[in-house]
């Protein structure tokens, strides 16, 4: 099981799910229309390290974080 956490303005509780890659996580999240829109703009981290590929492998106990874009000055 992996834990998916949603940071910043994504008002969603963390969830746990079975996944062997980020592609599995993305496929589950795309089923939710609101999350599908966030996925297009969010950075993704696995265990606090930014990653870019949906083919990134996951193992039991990993933490996936969705980081929405922010602005500030």
Tell me the per-residue pLDDT of 8-23, one tens digit each, with 9 for 90 and over: 888 899 999 999 999 9
Contact call for residues 25 and 64 (beta carbons, < 8 A): yes
Element (H, E) at 34: helix 33-39
Q: Can you tell me the distance from the alpha carbon of 18 to that of 25, in angstroms, rounded to the nearest whole number?
A: 8
Q: What is the pLDDT of residue 58?
A: 98
Q: Please state the domain extents for the chain.
A: 2-67
Specify the fold of 2-67.
Answer: Ubiquitin-like (UB roll) (3.10.20)
Q: What is the pLDDT of residue 34?
A: 84
Element (H, E) at 23: helix 22-29
Q: In Å, how far from its chain's centre is CA 48?
A: 11
Q: Among candidates 72, 73, 68, which has minimal Cα distance to 8?
A: 68
Q: What is the pLDDT of residue 8?
A: 87
pTM of the model: 0.90
Per-residue model confidence as pLDDT tens for the chain (73 residues) = 999 999 988 889 999 999 999 999 999 999 988 888 888 889 999 999 999 999 999 999 999 999 998 755 5
């Amino acid at each position: 099981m992996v834990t998916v956490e949603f940071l910043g303005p994504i008002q969603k509780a963390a969830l746990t799910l079975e996944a062997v890659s980020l592609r599995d996580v993305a496929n589950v999240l795309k089923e939710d229309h609101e999350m599908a829109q966030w996925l297009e703009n969010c950075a993704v981290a696995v265990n606090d390290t930014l990653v870019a590929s949906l083919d990134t492998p996951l193992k039991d106990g990993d933490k996936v974080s969705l980081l929405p874009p922010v602005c500030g000055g």
